[in-house]
Chain A
């Protein structure tokens, strides 16, 4: 490394796969010169579960329970991308109501993920209390998810062509109450944290990433927007029904940890705005595109007739992927989550490549930690 050192023997420390601060399994091998970090080498793979290989042997419907386990903080996004990819491949229309329900779920999931970023972030800096406060709000979101989908975290909710079940009666009012409560919660966090001089000392000017550098390293999400580049896939790509709401991209110019913090807090507030607009404007109608479930091998088959629709509850969906390739993407809270899907004229995909945002955003870590104090290398996220 070309970083000048002050002593000859550098200490090599292993921050092993398990951490007491809920980072997930990540092994960092740090080369230290006293308190300064000279180099850092992340070693991954502890949570590699072979999801891509499993996807080649499962139909989309069978695969849906697996996808929430990719990113268990923001579970709806993984499901959304898993159904969006085949929908785009086969041009399946999603009813308007289903689209609104999906947007509400996605934005709630984004808030949940940013909350669980905030807790460990503050805990790494040294403030233990926000770690407990965020779980208050996250429990409320879990309750909403449980009422709608049946599971707190690993909901199997999205389907090709819509969602699995409609919102229960009274859910919308509960969600409105949550939005009002959460806005007061965010104000509380801002009062406690944002102008706190200790926090600002720790975080301002730490881990600066320039705009050009961020683009070169392929960053996306809040890390990119905090460096001055206004790139948000929800505005750029116009998927689901995000263009019907009135919201703005949150971005900052400096590119340090404080900027990333402000972008995420701003995103939480924008998400609440979007949820409120969606709840007010949600249309009636079907919540799933049942056409997808029909046997369309023979278009005018007698099995598709009116009389046979009532034989069983719903026929086993047999969604066949045609022989095309597609890259679908969503704006997950961590960045751009993408699926590169190659269909094969059968029910199993031929190649299902997951483009995880966290994998790529982590690659810049060795560049950023050079010459930083040991206590600061956790603040970068």
Chain B
């Protein structure tokens, strides 16, 4: 099937310096690379005749706080010519600077802005790296695991000052954690 062909081909032909691990599963084939070789790898995948992955579907950041390089950036790619999808994953920590792929895939512009906004990973050579989804003047990077679900500030319109102000959050009910483990299920002794 075409889906496996371009994956197998690229794994065979690429230098092992670029792709240091690969995983093939029914849920999607993926390459693991490191941040220095990310841009050449995507360049190869986009332009080479037998891979031709021209569509960047998604750039996703993931936070694994238990790891040393806590963030992982996942690029989901699609080749319309061969009907195949490939995932490229790199890991980074808070200060690693990843090279932006905007020159290859123009749609990466907003995706990288979102990863910056939500996680704090910055990209070199990005034409316009600023916040995209959070409020003006928002502090913090929301999707990191150490940022609480309810946030730190709440906003309200302050009538004496005639503008919107941010204040530290005040919750009347504490955060309830619904796990819905069924009472019949004994987790400890099955």
Binding site for B on A (CB under 8 A): 44-45, 48, 50, 52-54, 57-59, 61-62, 88-89, 215-218, 229, 231, 236, 295, 297-298, 301, 303, 315-316, 318, 324-327, 336, 338, 340, 342, 347, 350-351, 353, 355, 359-360, 363
CB distance from B182 to the nearest CB of A (A): 5
| CB–CB A218/B85 < 8 A | no
Closest to A367 in B: B106
| CB–CB A340/B54 < 8 A | no
A-B contact count (CB 8 A): 108
| CB–CB B62/A44 < 8 A | no
The verdict on B17 contacting chain A, using a C-beta distance below 8 Å, is no
Contacts A315-B184, A363-B107 hold; do A44 and B133 have CB atoms under 8 A apart? yes
Cβ-defined partner of A338 (8 Å) among B58, B143, B149: B58
Closest to B108 in A: A218
Cβ-defined partner of B58 (8 Å) among A217, A295, A326, A327: A327
| CB–CB B180/A318 < 8 A | yes
CB distance from B144 to the nearest CB of A (A): 10
Contacts A297-B190, A327-B87, A359-B110 hold; do A350 and B180 have CB atoms under 8 A apart? no
Measured as residues with beta carbon below 8 angstroms from the partner, the interface class of chain B is 35 or more
| CB–CB A315/B182 < 8 A | yes
CB distance from A18 to the nearest CB of B (A): 15
| CB–CB B143/A52 < 8 A | yes
Which residues in A have their C-beta under 8 angstroms from that of B92?
Answer: none
Cβ-defined partner of B133 (8 Å) among A48, A89, A326, A360: A48
Contacts A216-B54, A218-B105 hold; do A340 and B180 have CB atoms under 8 A apart? no
Cβ-defined partner of B182 (8 Å) among A54, A298, A316, A325: A316
Which residues in A have their C-beta under 8 angstroms from that of B25?
Answer: 324
Cβ-defined partner of B83 (8 Å) among A57, A218, A236, A295: A236
Cβ-defined partner of B60 (8 Å) among A216, A236, A353: A353
| CB–CB A347/B179 < 8 A | yes
CB distance from A70 to the nearest CB of B (A): 14
| CB–CB B60/A360 < 8 A | no
Which residues in B have their C-beta under 8 angstroms from that of A318?
Answer: 180-182, 185
**From DSSP, what is the main secondary structure of chain B's interface residues?**
loop
CB distance from A93 to the nearest CB of B (A): 15
Which residues in B have their C-beta under 8 angstroms from that of A295?
Answer: 182, 184-185
| CB–CB B106/A347 < 8 A | no
The verdict on B157 contacting chain A, using a C-beta distance below 8 Å, is no
Distance A122 CA – B106 CA, assembled complex (angstroms)? 30
Instruction: Offer 26 A-B interface pairs, CB within 8 angstroms, sorted by A.
Output: A44-B132, A45-B131, A48-B134, A50-B142, A53-B143, A59-B180, A89-B27, A215-B54, A216-B54, A216-B106, A216-B107, A217-B107, A218-B56, A218-B106, A236-B83, A295-B185, A303-B184, A315-B184, A318-B181, A326-B28, A327-B58, A340-B74, A342-B62, A347-B179, A355-B57, A363-B107
Which residues in B have their C-beta under 8 angstroms from that of A88?
Answer: 27
| CB–CB A350/B62 < 8 A | yes
Contacts A52-B143, A359-B110, A360-B110 hold; do A218 and B55 have CB atoms under 8 A apart? yes
The verdict on B80 contacting chain A, using a C-beta distance below 8 Å, is yes
A-B contact sample (5 more), CB < 8 A, given A217-B106, A351-B60: A218-B56, A295-B184, A327-B27, A353-B58, A363-B107
CB-CB contacts below 8 Å: B74-130 with A: 74, 76, 80, 83, 85, 87, 105-107, 109-110, 118
Distance A305 CA – B20 CA, assembled complex (angstroms)? 48
The verdict on B12 contacting chain A, using a C-beta distance below 8 Å, is no
| CB–CB A327/B76 < 8 A | yes
Distance A216 CA – B180 CA, assembled complex (angstroms)? 44
Which residues in A have their C-beta under 8 angstroms from that of B149?
Answer: 50, 53-54, 57
Ranked nearest first, the 8 interchain pairs of A and B with the lowest CB-CB distance are: A218-B107, A298-B190, A45-B133, A353-B60, A48-B133, A326-B27, A355-B58, A351-B62
Distance A88 CA – B28 CA, assembled complex (angstroms)? 11
| CB–CB B110/A45 < 8 A | no
Which residues in A have their C-beta under 8 angstroms from that of B55?
Answer: 215, 218
Which residues in B have their C-beta under 8 angstroms from that of A44?
Answer: 132-133
| CB–CB A327/B28 < 8 A | yes
| CB–CB A360/B107 < 8 A | yes
The verdict on B139 contacting chain A, using a C-beta distance below 8 Å, is no
Which residues in A have their C-beta under 8 angstroms from that of B177?
Answer: 57
Distance A327 CA – B110 CA, assembled complex (angstroms)? 20
